[in-house]
Amino acid sequence: MNKNTALAVAALVACGSAAATEDYDLRYAPGYGGADMSAPFEGGWVFQAHTYAYSGNIRGTTSVQLPFSTIHALNPAVPAIPGAFTTTTVNTNEQINVYGLLPRLSYMSSTTFLGATLGGTVLVPLVNKKSNATITAYSTTATSPLPAVNNAAIAAGVNPLVAGQVQAVANANSNSDWGTGDLEFSPILRWSTEATQTLFVLTTVTPTGDYDKNRAANPSAGRFWTFRPAVQFSYIGDGWDFGTRVAYSYNTRNTETKYKSGSYLNLDLSFMKSVSESTRVGVSGYAVNQLNKDST
């Protein structure tokens, strides 16, 4: 079997499935700042530096078919039987670890507009991202009118060559990098009563971070923009408080990869209890839903 056959299979394996957002990067830290949602955001400057860590596995199975005619062009010993093909199935696992420091500077003025006070915030994340891709299993079968022993021999010829190529694909998707992420800035409108606070935040995420399209793991999500309107509401009661935020993210197309991540919706919740004048304890949670598919 010619090496080019394996390269053809590996190329198809590499593009056989699309990620839910490019490189699985939401440009949004789910659950981030949960306790702060119910903290009063009044006049003046506020500096915050949150840290976060995410870890997860992404498992996938890809099946790739090659017609005998393609294989025959590379290896004439394989007959070009119409309708005959080989099927290679590859099982993969990608371990992704992300560690971030999120320094944010915010300001709330005394200027009013539409009954709300005006403010703004800017964030420049520092991110360490690691990706480790592995091939957990692979197998090749041949489907043709030939006797089973011939089909098995053809599959056996394809399988070991494919193994090295899919491992090369896995190696190419394994790396780590540290650097600055994508700068984001947001104007803020704040409406408040004695016990409630409502914020409208219009965030723009810029493609300014450390990025290389040939790396699997990048501090930046890519060379595209994200526009994220969000509404945040909090109720501050007698000794306890509640906060929630709904954010919608729209992504433009990555100018380097031509990949367009789908839009998605984030929901964050928090319940906090004051145990002293300086201490609160509570729980927070989040949900993420991608609203439409990625496209290339």
- Residues 72, 78: contact at Cβ < 8 Å? yes
Residues 56, 94: Cα–Cα separation, whole Å = 8
Hey, where are the domains in the chain? 3-290
- Report, as an integer, the average pLDDT of 90-117: 92
Tell whether pTM > 0.95. no
Strand bridging mode 85-113 / 44-67: antiparallel
**Residue 90 in tokens:** 């590859």
End-to-end CA gap in the chain = 32
Which residues lie closer than 8 Å to 15 by C-beta, 6 or more apart?
Answer: none
Q: What is the pLDDT of residues 35-93, one digit of tens each?
A: 677 777 888 999 989 888 888 888 888 888 888 888 888 778 888 899 999 898 888 88
- Report, as an integer, the average pLDDT of 102-118: 94
For the ranges 47-56, 155-164, 173-182, 286-295, the lowest mean pLDDT is seen at 155-164
Angle at 118 between CA 115 and CA 121, to 5 degrees: 145
Residues 257, 12: Cα–Cα separation, whole Å = 17
Phi/psi for 259 (5° steps) reads -95, 140
Q: How confident is the model at residue 20 (pLDDT cuts 50, 70, 90)?
A: low
Q: What is the pLDDT of residues 214-246, one digit of tens each?
A: 888 889 999 999 999 999 999 988 888 999 999
Query: What percentage of the chain has pLDDT greater than the value 90?
Result: 45
